[in-house]
Structures are given as C-alpha cells and as structure tokens.
Amino acid sequence: MLRLGSRFFSLPVLRTCVWIGAMLVGVSSFAAEPSPTAAGKDTGLIPRRVLFGNPDKAAARISPDGKQLSYIAPVEGVLNIWVGPVGDPSKAKPVTKDKFRGIRSYFWAYTSQHILYSQDANGDENTHVYSVDLAAGETKDLTPFKNVAAQIDSVSHRFPNEVIIGLNDRDEQFHDLHRVNIATGERTLLQKNTEFTGFLTDDDFKVRLAQKYAEDGGTLILQPDGADKWKEFLHIPQEDSLTTNPVGFDKTGEILYLIDSRGRDTGAITQFDLKTGKQTVIAENPLADAGGIMAHPTENTIQGVSFTYDRTIWEFQDKAIEKDFKILRKIADGDITVASRTLDDRVWVVAFLLDNGPVRYYVYDRDTGKEKFLFTNRKDLEAWKLAKMHPVVLKSRDGLSLVSYLTLPPESDPDGDGRPNKPLPLILNVHGGPWARDAWGLDPEHQFLTNRGYAVLSVNFRGSTGFGKKFLNAGNKEWAAKMHDDLLDAVDWAVAEKIADPKKVAIMGGSYGGYATLVGLTFTPDRFVCGIDIVGPSNLITLLKTIPPYWAPAIQLFKDRVGDHMTDEGRKFLESRSPLNLVTKIQRPLLIGQGANDPRVKQSEADQIVKAMQSHKIPVTYVLFPDEGHGFARPPNSLAFQAVTEAFLAVHLGGRYEALGDAFKGSSITVPAGEEDVPGLAGHVPKPVETKPEPKATK
C-alpha cells in the first residue's frame, strides 16, 4: 500500500485543480470593440465546449477481479460513474445518479462489487465519502455529517469490506481515523488525533507512523511506543520537509519505503529496514524528485519509479514491467500511465497522454502482450489540429534552471521548431500551489489560448516541486520577490527569442497564479498589458488568518515559507508582499474570478481588492460563482468563465474569440462589477439563480 502524494504527507497547498477566472480593469488596448469569430471548421476556431465541456468518457478503471470496467461519463449533462463487462464496454450503464455537480474521481473497492467516491457540496471541500453497491444498485453516504471534511486515508486488499476514513467531526482541526464498513457504514475508531497532520497505516490497518510539523520548521515522524504514546522515529530538517516523506510498507511490514532528500538534493526512493535501521537507495535522479511509484498490488514490491524533469522517464526495478512498457510504447505515442490494475497484476488499463490529442485508453493483457483499444476521453478533439507543447529550460537572472512549457499556434510555427514566424501576443500562465508544478501534456488552457492566436508560456518558477530541495527552498519567503523575478526573466527570454511581442504580454493564473497576476499588475505595473486573477489571494495576512481549520496543524509550513502573520515583524513583511496594499499602482485591465464557497482563498480576498479598486475609481470586472469553491467544477460554470475570459483577452491582446451565445446556459454566473468592460457581457448575464442543494444518495 504505497501512497505517494496521499493525504498522509500531502500538503494543504494553495492550488487550483480546475481552471478558473474572471475580472477586468483599465482602459482597453484597442480603440474598437473586437468582433467575435464563428467557431467551426471554416474558421478553425475550436468551440469552447470541445475543450472545456464534459469529457465523453474518462477515468477508465478495471475491477480488482478483472471482470468489470468502469469510467466516468455524462448522464443528462452531469458526470456519473458507468460500469460494464470488460469484454464489452458498450454494455456499460450508469451506477450513480448525480444530478448537479458531477463525480470526478473514484476507485474500486477490493470487493469488486463496490465503488467509492468523494464529493463536496458546491466547492466547500466538506467532502463526503460514498459507497456504491453494484449488486443492490444503491449509493450510501458513509460520512453523513455536516461541516465535516471526510478524507479517504487508505484501503487494503486484506480488508476488502472496509476503508479507513479521516474525520474531523470531533475536532475541526484534526482528523481521527475510523475503520468504516463500506456496505453498512458502521464505524470503529482506529486512532484519535490530537496533534498530527496525518498517519501512515500498513496493510493490516495498523497505525505505524504519524507526522507533525516541528517548531524549527522541520517534520517529526513518530512511532507508537506501545503505551499509548509516541516516540520519535525521524526528525526531518526544514530544508528537506517537502522532499522527504514515508510512502508505505512492503508486504511484511518490516520495510518502510521512504522518499528521502537528506544528504542529496533530489528526493530518491529508498527502503528502510525497520529491524536493522539500514537504508538503501532504490532509484534516484540528479535532476528530479521521485514522482510516480509502481508497486505490485499485493506484494508491495516496487516495480518502477518515474521522474519528471521536462518529460517523464521511468526507472524499472522489475524486468517484466520494463518489458511491458517496451510493448506499450509500440501501441501509441505519448507518456504511459497505468491507470488501473487487477489484483493479480495480469491486466492493466493503460492511458496514453499526448500533448496534441485526447487521452487514449486501452486494456492490456500482460500474459499475451495484447491490447484492446477502449476510447479517447474527448472524441471531438480528434477532428481538430492541436498545438504541440515544447519543453524549454530557461535561466533565471541568478542562474537557476527554469523548466518551462511553450505552446504556439500551429500556423505560426509551420516547421515545428518552437519559434513562431513573427512575435506573437504572449500569455504567461502561472501555476498554483506554489508547491506544485507544470508538466508536459494536453493542457486545455494552452490549446484554447493558442487557438485564439496567442503564444502561451508556463514556467516552473523557484518554489515549484519536483526539482529538488534547493530549487524548492529557493522560493522560501520569496513571494512577490525572486519568484516573480523568475516569471519576468521568462518573459524577457520570450521577447529575446522573438516569440513574444513585448507590448502584448498578459499574465494569468489560479490560486498562487492568481496572486502572481495581482503581483504582476501592482509590483510591475508596466510589464503586462492585462491580467486574469483566478481565486488568488490579495492580502497574505488575511489569507493566513482564514485558512481552513484542519490546515492549522501545518501553520508552521506557511510561517517558514511564506511569512509569519502572528508577529509584528512578520505582519510587516507580509504587508510588503500583499498586492492589496499597492492597489493604486494598477494601470492595466484586470479580470477576477472567484467561487463564493472557496475554503482556501476566501471570497473576501477578491471582494477586498475589488472594493479598493472601486474606491480609487480603477475599473474592474468581477465574476463570481455562488455554487463554486477553489475552482470551477461544474461545466456550465467553466464554460461561462471561459467565454468571459476569451472576450476579455481579445480586447487587450487582439486575438480571436467565440461569441457568448448560450455560454451562460445552466451557469450560476454573476458579475458584481464591470460587465460593461467585456464585449457582449452587458445585459447578457442571467439573473442570479438559487444554488441547488447537493443531492442525497439515491437508490
């Protein structure tokens, strides 16, 4: 049971998983309002719905016994889970009945007769865990509590009828672990939590380790001492705290697998013998931290480890797995992901990820070496010429290597060398986190924006994850400083390479990327023609004061890496890095998008900067969705947001855009300010609709 990136040592980072945005300010860059372009083959303009509507089918998974295939697909426009026989996926039928928000992630229980999924209400992140009984045709809410953020902690093939769920119903700051029967919902307390950010259990559902942040900024990993107390197992220094963490045990429970950057720069996969204390490196890479881990479903032996610098590569520990990958590489292009496996590891569902086409899913039989094509996730995309994404490594002004991704309109780069035939309007698209990263692959935002005529550049600035601890720690307390310098250096590179027109550079992003947008328009007001802030914090002090209560145990992380809002000196520092305090510097158009239920970056972060801009008579367009949180999950809202965004960009960068049309159909979109500054928006916004309650489990 290896849990790389699981809740146990996952971080409560500020990142946006669903593309978001909407708000505008300033004087138009063009004298006349641009006219929309008709979408279709005649013009080559890809309709918004093709890129941002529901996928046809996605997230294909095989049941542990290998008999059934599942996937997510729409039912009356809302994503639900479908199940059918592996031999004939065309016979699949929906097994859930969500009518509103849609299901986006799920997995098979080891019974092969149950499916588990999580869902919140309107983006509030108070997640419930649901169990779907395929035989009975019933869906049961395993965590029927209000204002509780349930978290699936772990499952084990040794206990197919149970799941471990973390619940903060007793104390909103801490998640206690419960063993929960997936058929009856019966719960048994496994581990009370009064101080920890997470736990690690083994396949026997024994709690083996716990984590908490130390006052010195490091991480403490502790073991039960056998007397209802804890003893220190590892003290991880602050410099290694985001690049070192346990990820699971072998079959015996005597070997701990540990990603470890201590004594090196990048996080290597190691095994730690708990009896002898001997630690051995399994796989490492000098440029990148260990990423994905392939381990046998029951033996827990590590079969392969992935590393992603500019592209993903695999290092194999199991020759048989290496042979399978060689066969798979002959089937289709793209990066290979084993999305699902049978319990005996004989049959896989494999996804091929491309940069200029939809995801391709196959069932692969390891015994025969044969594959069966299932489907692509967005068939409509197959009819369009999409752009290639070019990995490039730039240099910051102080010598750091910045792994970045450039996408150009295909017609601007006929020879495919990653250089346009003339400089283009450029959009600097900044990722969230900031403890996250951009990666190669099909990016709907890149495709959308290049299709409208823009070059798009995404930069892994210092503080991004995956590139070793030195690069990560170089971002400590550098919000609005060296982290922003990296973005400016990337723009300078694009201008010097004649990729970007220096007079037509925009900045946009979600979460931290939204903050970076506000920084761009306040700290460097002359550098960008316009900006799009998507659920971005405007004041770092109010951001840290309003984090979700269950993030409180990790507050030391924010103090060390962002700033300390609890001391006078720290508050003064954070004030100096907060765009809200420089709002009068804004000279260029700004578009802000926000979800009213966002628990990470509260609506007040958007409200306060809009109010400040209005008080200084600085124009701004503010788009607010009352039924969304930290990201716009409902397709009608995503499509509405994209419609506003492309019209806004057309005004200030001169690209093409699709008319609003029925883009707001079914959306909860509201525009509290500035609708007159986006072409076609005035008078087009529907009256606010009452937010629908999250549907109850149905039979």
Measured from the Cβ of residue 618, the count of other Cβ atoms closer than 10 Å reads 19
**Can you read off the two tokens belonging to residue 249?**
């045990």
Q: Which of the following is catalytic: 63, 261, 511, 578?
A: 511
CA distances from 206 to 211, 251, 260, 295, 595 (A): 15, 13, 23, 20, 39
Q: Which of the following is catalytic: 131, 630, 667, 668?
A: 630
Distance separating alpha carbons of residues 551 and 162, to the nearest angstrom: 27
Query: Is 175 known to be catalytic?
Result: no
- The CA-CA-CA angle for residues 460, 358, 113, to 5°, reads 100
Cβ atoms of residues 647 and 681 within 8 Å: yes
Q: Are strands 162-171 and 370-376 parallel, antiparallel or unpaired?
A: unpaired
Distance separating alpha carbons of residues 515 and 563, to the nearest angstrom: 15
**Can you read off the two tokens belonging to residue 338?**
């084993």
**Which sign does the torsion angle of CA 232, 237, 242, 247 carry?**
negative
434 preceded by cis ω (within 30°)?
A: yes
Query: Is 511 known to be catalytic?
Result: yes
Instruction: Calculate helix-pair angle for 444-451, 635-653, nearest 10 degrees.
Output: 40
Q: Is 608 exposed, middle or buried (0-12, 13-18, 19+ CB in 10 A)?
A: middle
CA–chain centroid gap for 255, Å, is 31
Tell me the DSSP string of 98-132: --SS----EEE-TTSSEEEEEE-STT----EEEEE
Q: Is 171 exposed, middle or buried (0-12, 13-18, 19+ CB in 10 A)?
A: middle
Distance separating alpha carbons of residues 325 and 319, to the nearest angstrom: 10
Cβ atoms of residues 151 and 127 within 8 Å: yes
Name the 3-class secondary structure at 376. strand
| Element (DSSP H or E) covering residue 233 | strand 230-236
Q: Which of the following is catalytic: 443, 598, 627, 677?
A: 598
Query: Is 630 known to be catalytic?
Result: yes
DSSP 8-class letter at 561? H
Q: In what order do the strands lie in the sheet with 198-201?
A: 198-201, 207-213, 219-224, 230-236
Q: If you compute the radius of gyration of the chain from its CA atoms, what whole number of angstroms results? A: 25
Which residues are known to be catalytic? 511, 598, 630
